[in-house]
Structure 1
Amino acid sequence: MRPMQVRLAMTPNRPSPRNAPPVLRRPVVPMLAAPVDAVPEGPGLVHEPKWDGWRCIAFRDTDGVYLQSRAGRNLTGYFPDITRAIGAGIPPGAVLDGELIVWDRGRTNFAQLQRRVTAGRELPQLVRECPAHYVVFDLLADAGGRVILDRPLSQRRACLVRMLAEAPAALTATPQTVDIREVSDWLLYWTVAAGIEGVVSKRQGGRYQPGRRGWAKFRTRMVTEAIVGGVTGSVSDPETVLLGRIDRRGRLRYTGRSHPLARDQRVALAELLSPPPMSGRGAVAHPWPQPLPASWSGQLDRPEPTRYEQVDPAVVVEIAADTAFEHSRWRYRVRYTRIRPDLSPSDVPFLLGEEEGYFGDRS
């Protein structure tokens, strides 16, 4: 964890600096959430959807708007639609914390956010065709720059709701509930219909602690199957598995990679893996290139090709996968659960085009 976290400065034009209230200075390290295996329950807790977007702290300065990423980078130039909305609807001095998202046919589309960074001259057209929204879940400084980090969440939330009451439609307060039954509905319906990733739970009396994991994050996962097309490490001692699914044309498409396997998982899987067959010309018959292209991984911060060992795509495994699935791939690494020796690759659901949905059932 980086040391600190919030810059405080004395407000200028005050005759007595000792009595001047502090104001937030960027960059501010946002408060974070620790992953949990179940949604926590109990008195004093509130729950919010975990949106599939980019974390963003927005500074409404007297002379404009500044958008800061979770890592402290300047996002302002990529979201002129959001800066206009904040400039028009938020009073100077306010500092907000929330998530940038793009809606596409009623569902969040993470890929459209990424396009903002690489759009270049096409950015104005992209903004018109795929406008962004800023879903706000916290208020760090009120109108006039008054810092309210130490106030309870319930009070910060009340101030935020009042501030957004007359704001443009692109700015909205995230839903919040104390009803665990409503949380269940979110997880059951919204993960598919709206593309939320899970639930963030917070204490109503909690203060905002920059850089601290003071919230709880439950991420929705689904249990499903995939085909092993390759491994890192070696065939005799696999460290992670590279997974695929067959599309409608019968091609094995790369869909993602697992977290590191446990020792017993590595031993059991190695017994079933074998090198890929040879083609008639004496070359290895495998549908994926070697190394795996950097663009396939979807990791913008580590754009290097992946060396791996190709295997005969005949082994089916069970995985627990995140609901974030775009461009026919899981964006995050999946959890390897177990081998499914009772299934063949033809039993694994088809990989469909994005216009058809995520997966189809083989019948």
Structure 2
Amino acid sequence: MLAAPVDIVPEGPGLVHEPKWDGWRMIAFRETEGPYLQSRAGRNLSSYFPDITQAIRSAVPPGVVLDGELIVWEYGRTNFAQLQRRVTAGRDLPRLARECPAHYVLFDLLVDTGGQVILNLPLSQRRARLQRLLADAPPQLTLTPQTGDMRQVSDWLLHWTVAGVEGVVSKRLARRYEPGRRGWSKFRTRIVTEAIIGGVTGSISRPETLLLGRYDQRDRLRYTARSHPLTINQATELAALLAPPRIPLDGSVAHPWPHPLPASWSGQFDRSEPVAYTRVEPSVVAEIDADVAFEHGRWRHRVRYARARPEMSIRDVPLLIEEQNTTQG
């Protein structure tokens, strides 16, 4: 079952809310021969998370099917990059599993003990059964918080984002589980901030999306995000402000980013193609609307361009604090 994005958290009788965790959605099948972990895209993740398969094997009886979010905690918050590293770790996988163990935050039960399919039961009953099932489970199998109190929701949105909670998912207690249907709602916590336009897809006269950056503590302009497609009005406005990079007297390229943009800069392990783009003089400040999934110096999801800020200097843009293990040289 999926969630449709909304601009406000819905309220009303019969609605409950859960934190939106920054991880991988995963269905776990407790088969007789052992657990099978399946991603939302249908990929078999079992071999990458031996810590989770062991926890399920020890605490969950055969026949059960669970739904939840796979996360890794590190330094008091979720670390999405640690999930990605599991897939590419190879022989280093056992060490990663020991040093940064994963957690499976559970929010639904699809098949109960003995293979009883309970998709048609209301969420309230499925939740009660899930809670009983997890009563003696190890800490790595955790029941997600749930509330109908909007004050609690506000507290999550205000204070839990630093721990990696992206927003809230809202559900109806009386609703059955409908695979593939967007019967839930998801609200993402968003921030308004600024970044520097370092490149565009398309052309300067007809920009399509923006490649954005911020200066770090060593005065290097680092790539931080890509925008959603621009509207016609936004593209027209920016075309009048953008310019090609300046050419120094020695004829070298005066731009801090390579062309095309390396695939590793996107931070997505499953996107191997470099990004073709048009370099621009990094002198225009953009106001953007972004979510809180900011990790290793980048926004993992695309940001929304709001407007140009010609009155702002590029030195007015917040500084990017250096992090270790960054993939940009």
More displaced stretch, 133-142 vs 61-70: 61-70
- Among 35, 45, 51, which residue is 2:15 paired with? 45
Is 1:190 aligned to residue 166 of structure 2?
no
C-alpha offsets along residues 112-161 of structure 1, whole Å, 9 cap, x if unaligned? Answer: 00000000001001100000000000000100110000000000000000
For the residues of structure 2 that align with 1:260 and 1:245, how far apart are their CA atoms? 20
Residue identity opposite 2:311 in structure 1: D
| Equivalent position SS for 1:260 | coil
Q: 2:283 is matched with which residue?
A: 314
- Among 216, 225, 229, which residue is 1:247 paired with? 216
Q: 2:327 is matched with which residue?
A: none
- Among 232, 241, 250, which residue is 2:201 paired with? 232
Question: TM-score when scaled to structure 1?
Answer: 0.88
Alignment of 1:1-363 (within 5 A): 31-192=1-162, 194-354=163-323
Please provide the CA RMSD for this pair: 0.9
For the residues of structure 2 that align with 1:231 and 1:66, how far apart are their CA atoms? 42
| Equivalent position SS for 1:197 | strand
Q: After TM superposition, where is structure 1 displaced by more than 6 Å over at least 4 residues in a row?
A: none
| Equivalent position SS for 1:350 | coil
| Equivalent position SS for 2:117 | coil
Is the radius of gyration larger for structure 1 or structure 2? 1
Residue identity opposite 2:23 in structure 1: G
| Equivalent position SS for 2:187 | strand
Per the TM alignment, residue 164 of structure 1 is displaced from its structure 2 partner at its CA by: 0.4
For the residues of structure 1 that align with 2:174 and 2:318, how far apart are their CA atoms? 46
Tell me, yes or no, if the aligned pair for 2:27 and 2:39 is still in contact at 8 Å. Answer: yes
Residue identity opposite 1:321 in structure 2: A
For the residues of structure 2 that align with 1:312 and 1:176, how far apart are their CA atoms? 48
Per the TM alignment, residue 74 of structure 1 is displaced from its structure 2 partner at its CA by: 0.5
For the residues of structure 1 that align with 2:276 and 2:33, how far apart are their CA atoms? 49
For the residues of structure 2 that align with 1:113 and 1:234, how far apart are their CA atoms? 36
For the residues of structure 2 that align with 1:300 and 1:249, how far apart are their CA atoms? 27
Per the TM alignment, residue 32 of structure 1 is displaced from its structure 2 partner at its CA by: 0.4
More displaced stretch, 56-65 vs 138-147: 56-65
The share of aligned pairs that are identical, in percent, is 73
| Equivalent position SS for 2:133 | helix
Per the TM alignment, residue 280 of structure 1 is displaced from its structure 2 partner at its CA by: 3.0
| Equivalent position SS for 1:351 | coil
For the residues of structure 2 that align with 1:283 and 1:232, how far apart are their CA atoms? 22
For the residues of structure 1 that align with 2:59 and 2:53, how far apart are their CA atoms? 10
Per the TM alignment, residue 279 of structure 1 is displaced from its structure 2 partner at its CA by: 2.2
Per the TM alignment, residue 300 of structure 1 is displaced from its structure 2 partner at its CA by: 3.4
Gap regions ≥5 residues in structure 1 = 1-30, 356-363
Q: How many residues align?
A: 324
Residue identity opposite 2:161 in structure 1: T
Residue identity opposite 1:182 in structure 2: Q
Question: TM-score when scaled to structure 2?
Answer: 0.97
Gap regions ≥5 residues in structure 2 = 325-329
Tell me, yes or no, if the aligned pair for 2:84 and 2:269 is still in contact at 8 Å. Answer: no
For the residues of structure 2 that align with 1:83 and 1:279, how far apart are their CA atoms? 58
